[in-house]
Structure 1
Amino acid sequence: DQLVKLVLLLNKWNKAYNLTSVRDPMEMLVKHIMDSLVVSPYLHGDRFIDVGTGPGLPGLPLAIINSDKQFVLLDSLGKRISFIRNA
């Protein structure tokens, strides 16, 4: 599953780049992935922008489950953008 792969990748990168204060992968699944997905039913339209996305939250999880929609993720820190490009 793509969401599980995202959590595993976030956990791996987090050890080196401190992308989030959450360290436990199961906690990441709940606090980052599930919290991101809760807004999905309320998305109206086809294109979205996530300004200040951090490590791609909520943009990446939403893009995974809404493959018919376009998401643009923006952040000012290079390490976060590098993670997003690798996710």
Structure 2
Amino acid sequence: MDRSAWRDRLVAAGVSEELAASLALFLELLGRWGEACDLTAELDPESLLRDHVLESLVGAPWLVPGVLLDVGSGAGFPAIPLLLARRDVRGVLLEPRSRRWAFLKEAVRELGLAAEVRRGRLEDGSFSGVENVSVRALAREVWEGKARQLLKPGGRFLWWAGPRACLRPPEGLEDVVTCPLPNPERGWLVVWGRCFT
């Protein structure tokens, strides 16, 4: 699908013209790199739009200004739609796989995002003190023990949880909101906050 067709679909789904244009460029880039880098499963355009782009955007209102650490960035969801929607947020995209890391670097460059792409895993680095963390399609046991230390006081932890996931907050975090996703069969967006104490 070409960029103008993506833009039209995004606008029809309620996305602003400006954001739709940026997201359409991202989706066009994803299409060019997709097969060579195994970025996403073979998806029809409607599923890609609903289950990846619109699902990612559910988190945009819950971010606070500052830095977003996206753990396991993969094909750029949710980080790239979030950063396109929230230009007051800078990104750190963490991805261990080399092809996906290369794609993310190119996407950040082409889209003019205020973000850096790091190759690695959460457990390999010492990350702490960011305003926002996003996690999607990553097992809870990978990040649960580090959730509190990753955030500054007042920060937000956004987790795209499956339909049968345990939604209780990790130690040191508190519930902010739980939002249904555009496709209810895929689960919830759970937003937790770090207390100021």
Alpha-carbon separation, structure 1, partners of 2:85 and 2:57 = 8
Give yes or no for contact 1:7–1:25 (8 Å, CA) kept in 2.
no
**Pairwise CA distance, 1:27:** 2.6
Residue 60 to residue 20, structure 1, CA distance change in 2 (3 Å): same
1:68 to 85, 88, 93: 88
Partner of 1:2: 22
Tell whether the 8 Å contact from 2:68 to 2:91 is kept in structure 1 after alignment: yes
Matched, 1:79 2:123: no
CA contact (8 A) 1:59 1:71 kept: yes
Contact 1:11 1:25 in 2 (8 A): no
Give the TM-score normalised by the residue count of structure 2: 0.42
- Higher Cα Rg: structure 1 or 2? 2
* Gaps in structure 2 of 5+ consecutive residues: 1-20, 108-197
TM-score by length of 1: 0.89
Offset, 1:70: 0.7
Q: Which runs of 5+ in 1 are unaligned?
A: none
Higher helix fraction (1 or 2): 1
Task: Assess, with a 3 A threshold, how the Cα gap between structure 1 residues 13 and 5 changes in structure 2: closer, same or farther.
Answer: same
**Match for 1:54 among 61, 74, 78?**
74
Identical-pair percentage: 36
Aligned equivalents of 1:19, 1:74: Cα separation in 2? 15
- Cα deviation, residue 24, structure 1: 2.8
Considering fraction of residues, name the structure with more strand.
2
Q: Which has the higher contact order (CA 8 A, sep 6+)?
A: 1
CA contact (8 A) 1:50 1:72 kept: yes
